[in-house]
Amino acid sequence: MVGATAILTGCAPESQIEGLNFSAEDIAFLDEVGDTIIPSTDTPGAKAVGIGSFIVMMVKDTYDAENQGSFVSGINSMRSGFKSANGKSFEEATTEERIAYLNEMKEKADAGEDGAKVINMLKDLTILGYFTSEIGATQALNYVEVPGRYDGCIPYEKGDKAYAI
């Protein structure tokens, strides 16, 4: 679970990196990664919800020092690895190049390679941030404003949007 430590204890983790800061370039990079994971289609993508800022907030507020360090070294490694492999930055790359690189990272993470685990963090944080945002909850999901009536049995057809909670 993303941010489980903070959610389960109700507090920030005891050991965190003091003065952990992310630059505007870091946030822009995270926006691009998030938008590659959840691109714009008939609904806005992750970049439209400001996913980079959300990811930074979650890493700073809910991750312990070990996971913060893994995240920072992982995104730095990801940026340099992408540039080495493709001869250009992630931001300058085509969608196909980005997807291929992220899929390769996911395969490495699934194989247990330590430096690739940042892709799971990025994926989890992107999904959490997107679907808990106003855009994700109201445009990508089927949103029913609360308070509303309770209907325990509602029709659901294959291909319908899932309901936001």
**Can you give the residue ranges of every domain in the chain?**
4-140
Say what the alpha-carbon torsion angle 74, 75, 81, 87 is, to the nearest 10 degrees: 180
Q: What is the DSSP string of 59-96?
A: HHHH--HHHHHHHHHHHHHHHHHHHHHHSS-TTTS-HH
**C-beta separation of 40 from 163 below 8 A:** no
pTM more than 0.85: no
Residue 147 confidence (pLDDT) above 90? no
Q: Using 50, 70 and 90 to split pLDDT, how confident is the model at 154?
A: confident
Q: What is the pLDDT of residue 10?
A: 57
Q: In whole angstroms, how far apart are CA 133 and each of 25, 120, 148? A: 22, 20, 20
pLDDT tens by residue, 39-78: 999 999 999 999 999 999 999 999 999 999 999 999 999 9
163 - beta bridge partners?
142
Higher-pLDDT residue of 161 and 129 is: 129
Residue 4 confidence (pLDDT) above 90? no
Provide the 8-state DSSP code for 103.
Answer: H
Q: What is the pLDDT of residue 9?
A: 52
Average pLDDT over residues 85-103: 96
Provide the 8-state DSSP code for 24.
Answer: H
Residue 107 confidence (pLDDT) above 60? yes
